[in-house]
Structure 1
């Protein structure tokens, strides 16, 4: 019974994402693309180049320059000379805000001239020039839209592959649960919502003292079955590079997971059940392994069936989104995910690290 949630997830819930989104008629609503950036001179040219080439009739780009000390401002001004729909919002002092990114977004969002807001990060780029069109397509009848931020390894390191795998598993879960009306998170690398939703939530007031969560905590607070939709389409993704050292990965995950403690109780129970079920698949195997051959064969079959189910879901997902993932990594990565859940889960409880990157 402990492993049953895993089979329900991978055999019945996740498969709902296999069907491609059909963009029959673009909404063409005005869209404000908002990016918070701090010392992003290295990444901004590539992002702004991609954003200015978007095939969409009515959009603006707002770059929130959060106390940058590099050439960020100069780059924004240079692009503004050629593209008047680019606006810079300067943050000179955040008054020691607990969450600098939330403070920056709170200053930038009121500057948007459109009701419909689309967010990404400065180190990301849209996967195609149809990104705004695809992500905003459901704004005619939804207020919150959940996209996918995909990682593309640069050096093919183990940490990069593992980050990609963990992100894939996370995306498959929150996107598929959203498809059946359970919305508990989104990612700031690719998310959209209306000004009205932001105002209704009173901005980030409810969780302003949590350093992360400008994305998932807002979704957790405001998303409902009738006002939220997830997008899974080859043109809807943003892409970025994963951390290339375990240290960078570790602190990135601590920031991300610190928000999970503030989810709704029902969402924490759901995710806790899935995590416990995942751990049980391996722990039961290790505990009962010495007993007899019959148990060994039975548990080995369960392990194999689960890996096969995840592999099929992964292959289907990459075909649906025109992305790539080496499926033969899955057995190793899945076992590594157990260690990740234990180590990062424990660390997130005791860590006090507050970093805005």
Structure 2
């Protein structure tokens, strides 16, 4: 059956989007699914410092800080920066200081000069650190095991300045939680996969590490101190390279985190991340934007072709083939990244995530104000 010009153009566009989608799935993300996971080192090679920033986190610190303080690592300190809390965080940390000799508390008082959200607190924690290798996490985070620091320590390769870890969200009931975990999964798949390909572009402050000397050599957060977010991803985006960055994805090195429980809070969180993303390097913004645009156009062209009888079965075949290939790659990654229970829902969550990303992108155009806490 001969196709009209419109049908040919739409079908060609659909196939083009499918091929680009295929590239990301098979030549970028599949690499993460197949890479060999390094075993946890048996001993700690050098002393390190853990940096945690807390603002009104008394409940989370009570529940999660002991797991950080009781790691199976021979020589480390934990620095908690109390950023102007008024909920009893100071008193709790003073109690912990008496119990744990390797805990160091830094207080940021109300009225401090040059305060710029979390970045000021992180900078204060880094300045207080005794050791060269810094491991970062948050007050609401729980290491998957007591061997977390063994896996996040300075790699044997001394040229590695940045180590990117992974932080999944804790499972709770509801579609919002499933969406949050799935979105976090895809974000991690992207930044970890591109790091493996030699193009690291971000990390998450819930589980990452880098050298103190790198921070001061690159003047810390000076380039983006004017925005409240980006203490983790913008720093990595600016200074990570093919040769100085590694990843750690052993399941014992994961750090579990408390997810948002309301849609509004989740949107505010993603707004902060979206704001930081605007300052990524041009090539990174192009690649990340292309992924969303290609996915949008793939669905749009597929729906449009359903109205043409001549292309109905061809477009359906391309769409089904896309689902089959993605179902071959991503359930493997879901299992590797501790989200195996989402595998059965992958096709549905994939579409819901796409809708949410488009909605969030539009919303971010109109909502400007963001803050850390």
Q: TM class, shorter-chain normalised?
A: over 0.9
Distance 1:219 1:344 in 2: 23
Q: How far has the Cα of 1:322 moved from its partner?
A: 4.6
Alignment correspondent of 1:160: 177
- C-alpha spacing 1:84/1:280, structure 2 compared with 1 (3 Å): same
Alignment correspondent of 1:118: 135
Q: Deviations over 1:255-314 (max 9, x none)?
A: 11110100000111111111111112211111221012x523222233333333333333
The TM-score with structure 2 as length reference comes to 0.90
Residues 94 and 100, structure 1, Cα contact 8 Å, conserved in 2: no
User: Number of matched residues?
Assistant: 355
- The answer to whether structure 1 residue 339 and structure 2 residue 355 are counterparts is yes
- C-alpha spacing 1:72/1:148, structure 2 compared with 1 (3 Å): same
- Superposed, which structure 2 residues align to 1:225-264 within 5 Å? 225-264=242-281
Q: How far has the Cα of 1:29 moved from its partner?
A: 1.5
Distance 1:30 1:307 in 2: 47
Alignment correspondent of 1:3: 18
- The answer to whether structure 1 residue 209 and structure 2 residue 206 are counterparts is no
Alignment correspondent of 2:50: 33
- The answer to whether structure 1 residue 296 and structure 2 residue 312 are counterparts is yes
Alignment correspondent of 1:314: 330
- Superposed, which structure 2 residues align to 1:14-163 within 5 Å? 14-18=29-33, 19-23=35-39, 25=41, 26-93=43-110, 95=112, 99-138=116-155, 140-141=157-158, 142-154=160-172, 156-163=173-180
Q: 1:13 aligns with which of 13, 28, 39?
A: 28
| Structure 2: runs of 5+ lacking an equivalent | 1-15
Residues 47 and 122, structure 1, Cα contact 8 Å, conserved in 2: yes
Q: How far has the Cα of 1:97 moved from its partner?
A: 5.5
Distance 1:59 1:344 in 2: 40
Distance 2:63 2:330 in 1: 29
Residues 137 and 207, structure 2, Cα contact 8 Å, conserved in 1: yes
Alignment correspondent of 2:11: none
Distance 1:228 1:171 in 2: 15
Q: Deviations over 1:91-115 (max 9, x none)?
A: 0036585741001111111100000
RMSD over equivalenced CA pairs, Å: 1.8
- C-alpha spacing 1:150/1:94, structure 2 compared with 1 (3 Å): farther
Counterpart of 2:308 in 1: which secondary structure? coil
The TM-score with structure 1 as length reference comes to 0.94
Distance 1:149 1:270 in 2: 23
Q: How far has the Cα of 1:75 moved from its partner?
A: 1.6
Alignment correspondent of 1:325: 341
Q: Deviations over 1:238-261 (max 9, x none)?
A: 111221221111111111111010
Q: Which has the larger radius of gyration?
A: 2
Residues 116 and 225, structure 2, Cα contact 8 Å, conserved in 1: yes
Q: Deviations over 1:121-174 (max 9, x none)?
A: 1111111111111111526431101111101222x2111100100110111111
- The answer to whether structure 1 residue 348 and structure 2 residue 364 are counterparts is yes
Residues 98 and 209, structure 1, Cα contact 8 Å, conserved in 2: no
Residues 202 and 233, structure 2, Cα contact 8 Å, conserved in 1: yes
Alignment correspondent of 2:196: 179
Counterpart of 2:90 in 1: which secondary structure? helix
Q: 2:288 aligns with which of 271, 282, 290?
A: 271
Counterpart of 1:326 in 2: which secondary structure? helix
Q: How far has the Cα of 1:36 moved from its partner?
A: 0.4
- The answer to whether structure 1 residue 222 and structure 2 residue 239 are counterparts is yes
Q: Deviations over 1:171-225 (max 9, x none)?
A: 1111011001011111111111111111122010000111110001000100000
Distance 2:114 2:360 in 1: 25
- C-alpha spacing 1:24/1:47, structure 2 compared with 1 (3 Å): closer
